[in-house]
Chains A and B, each alone.
Chain A
């Protein structure tokens, strides 16, 4: 009732001319660069139905995000997948993204499957591997159905060593293989002899050395490492240089105390040091372990999984446990390595979007201005990207912070309502795989999820909670 006694302060939504005029008369005004909801007026009707639901979504989301923020991801050890990953078996191949059948798999995923079967000794060559798959004896399942994540193709087989990351607050564990490095590697669908040889070396040297190192060193606080790395120019998805360096600092003294030869120790350190992305396979399970407790939070519209298999992009929502909402994996806008172009690129692939889901990666772009150039952007664009993500998230992270934003917490907990309502899609930083198996990474850039996954999830949410 006191409006006439106050100074008028206006928010202008729509015609920018009105904003310009208000500025001219010296009025206090903020302009909204408005966009219609995703899917237009039809979807607006779904949004309206949300308000009639009996469930307290705000409270549910707060609960979900509280779980995510209170997570304490810690590297507690290593083991062979078959020994620790729930439901793992010899003829099972885990892969990134939502479920998919062999006939729909993209080049890099097929290549990785072939490589995985050769590595596992189930096939001797490509021909045998394909025959085996077509015989129906090989089973496929998403990593996310087994408490884990895999970058790019994300293929894991029974005897591959995995990191065990425990969210000690909740006592849940997430798993991920070790990062093989750049170029021709299994996760990009390469399966030549040198790829298999490297994987064998990782199993026979890298794994035992690291395993003993971690045992000697004790649990490693990954949340701390990620927090520090964000202040050193990483966003822990497309840039892991600082985090990898920090990891080496963390393990080096204990590594020297292991029972292995100096040659082996040096090899291990050199291998990690030569691969800026070594830490990605730790930031990912850290994110997964942080998000797992939020899965199944009744009435919550917070996203707990975003993942791609190179063909489909899928999300899962806290209040809709066990369900996938799937759409076509998108093209990646980015920069290409010499000799490669957009024509060579496979659509978006990998579970690494788990980082954006937990509030780092593209959401922490402001912390990593160096990589915004992947889309020809500027440092200012990096800031804008993170700031825009606050629009679609529930909370600000209390650990992961961005120096350039005065140490503001990263936007955390994607709310499907906000994504649909505001027409703002989550930003994803990602590597680009060659569409043919066996070639590897051809570039890196930025991409978005397909629109329909959020709209479908919201429609389903309304259906379930009506």
Chain B
């Protein structure tokens, strides 16, 4: 059956009509269709299709032709569909406009001054160089940027008076703006240069939670302070903080830098009247003029005291010198009694610096710790998925994250490992970090709580679970709620990593006694 409808003087764009034809052909019962103006071309098509009728032949190019070959009664459906289609307004997507490249972005924001780069390492260096050439500062979140490229970028930046934070820089706070993984930290007069991402998060969070504030957190990336790079960004950061009017106290946080870098850093600190605290995880500075800290929290507390002009009276501080906490000694005794099996501490971390701090403290107090990247190479885990005696793993390391999101974002791996460790006969204590702030999972406590509950439902044994909660009261995850969720799952929550580790050590010691 061939139906022909001619609508006189009903002009539509030919492309719209081609689209309409496609729609109509899709209707059940339609064999072939043509919706178009009555042009010679369209009549030709109809002729070829054997669908040309006297009515369509008589149509003019100002008339709309609707010609359908198909089942009886199909025309009504066709016309309904067509009218709907022609009436249809394409709604504007309202989608945000993104740039396609750095240059495109600069057209949208000509006065940009910072480029945050998180593309794959093999491309990140090139993007960074482009940014530097255009006079922009760079934060390179990406890792796997070759060493030579890092050196080239940083040398170039130095010549241009620009800052390159990273590669592998997870955290920075510049002019109050948190970049990548960073917490909502109060502004203040403490400036930090950190070659340690979660170290910077831990110190800045504790500063903020204790009522202090941060002027800048300059991340450098871990490799910056090694001999090859020579601390180009680390030293530049110190210089900038010295020059910065808003900074009164300078905090340096890093794994031990190369001695040449330490030497230059100390010279810089001595060249200014500004106060300072230095914390090199698993390292010291032998200089009576340099104030050092024992742990990340110690560094944070000392910085706050200095920033408020108060004296430093203790060798090592903890946050619990200022905030209320339980009686840790008796709590440790109680916990030790509850533990029904195992004698080892198992640390399942997501933050690299926090991992190192835990390893350093436990090694000092208890003994060697196994790890994929141990302090003592003799204790390198052959299989990163199988713990041995005391084991601490950083599940944010490449070996764990290949093809997966970071464990601060995706808890799947850590939850599985937590349950596995809980069920392991050797495990007595599980130690965790829970990192809040921008970039991280929006409800990490629930993820951990779920795994703890699962483990406890599968096991009759009791294992002490301890979490270091790294974050501020202003973080988007809601600090108090996160703490409560963990506590309700029977997790002991600490306001700093060092306090959490210290508690794990205390429980272990009680257990041994």
Contact = CB atoms under 8 A, between A and B. Distances in A.
A371 B17 CA distance: 11
A15 interface: yes
Contact of A24 (B93, B103, B120, B438): B438
Contacts of A31: 96, 98-99, 105
Given A9-B113, A15-B141, A28-B109, A338 B32 contact: yes
B98 A183 contact: no
B511 to A, nearest CB: 41
A388 B104 CA distance: 9
Contact of B98 (A15, A33, A274, A378): A33
A407 interface: no
A248 to B, nearest CB: 16
Contacts of A9: 109, 111-114
B115 A18 contact: no
A48 interface: yes
B13 interface: yes
A44 interface: yes
Contacts of A103: none
B126 A48 contact: yes
B118 A14 contact: yes
Pick the most buried of B33, B99, B179: most chain A CB atoms within 10 A of its CB: B99
A84 B352 CA distance: 75
Interface string A10-50: 11111101100110110110111111110001001001100
B21 interface: yes
A321 interface: no
Contacts of B105: 11, 13, 30-32
B141 A14 contact: yes
Interface in A362-388: 370-371, 373-374, 376, 378-380, 387-388
Contacts of A418: 101
A390 interface: yes
Contacts of B118: 12-15, 18
Contact of A30 (B32, B108, B113): B108
B331 interface: no
A246 B19 CA distance: 28
Given A11-B136, A36-B123, A337 B117 contact: no
A4 B241 CA distance: 9
Is the interface on chain B under 10, 10 to 19, 20 to 34, or 35 or more residues? 35 or more
B48 A339 contact: yes
A72 B105 CA distance: 33
Contact of A10 (B120, B177, B184): B177
B80 interface: no
Given A13-B115, A337-B18, A27 B100 contact: no
Contact of B117 (A14, A22, A25, A424): A14
5 contacts: A1-B243, A8-B113, A13-B119, A338-B36, A388-B100
Interface of A: 1, 3-4, 6-15, 17-18, 21-22, 24-25, 27-28, 30-37, 41, 44, 47-48, 182-183, 274, 335-339, 370-371, 373-374, 376, 378-380, 387-388, 390-391, 418, 421-422, 424, 443
Given A13-B105, A32-B98, A32-B100, 15 more contacts: A3-B174, A8-B113, A8-B176, A8-B177, A9-B114, A11-B102, A12-B118, A13-B102, A18-B438, A30-B109, A41-B123, A48-B126, A337-B45, A374-B15, A391-B100
Interface of B: 13, 15-16, 18-19, 21-22, 32-34, 36, 40-41, 44-46, 48-49, 90, 92-93, 96-109, 111-120, 122-123, 126-127, 131, 136-137, 141-142, 161, 163, 174-180, 184, 215-216, 240, 243-244, 246, 438-439, 476
